[in-house]
Amino acid sequence: MHNLYTKFVKILEICKQFSENLVNESGNVPRRGPVPKFSDLEVVALSLTAEAESIDSEKRLFDYKLQEYKDHIPNLISRR
């Protein structure tokens, strides 16, 4: 399983199972203010996926790895 997106989707599903009553329907911890495009669960899943892939640098993750998958993860935040 060398596909980063495949691992991300599987880890996201596991995160959803463990947090079913802690987050709202969009995957965010309930709070006031604007709803983020990239949900809290997606942030956690992306972080766990990077750890599983031994990617310890956010720069490497965003600059090199995620460029391949930006079409698959449309809500991915920009680091600019």
Q: Rounded distance, CA 5 to CA 3, Å?
A: 5
In angstroms, what is the C-alpha Rg of the chain? 13
Count of H-run helices and E-run strands, the chain: 3, 0
* pLDDT band per the 50, 70, 90 thresholds, residue 2: low
The number of angstroms, rounded, from the C-alpha of 35 to the middle of its chain's C-alpha atoms is 16
pLDDT in tens, 41-78: 999 999 999 999 888 888 888 877 777 777 888 777 76
Q: What total of structural domains would you count in the chain?
A: 1
Q: Rounded distance, CA 28 to CA 7, Å?
A: 20
Q: Print the domain residue range for 76.
A: 1-22+37-80
**10 Å Cβ neighbour count for 66?**
21
pLDDT of amino acid 1? 44
pLDDT of amino acid 79? 63
Examine residue 32 and state whether it is found in any structural domain, yes or no. no
pLDDT in tens, 15-26: 999 998 899 888
Examine residue 28 and state whether it is found in any structural domain, yes or no. no
Examine residue 31 and state whether it is found in any structural domain, yes or no. no
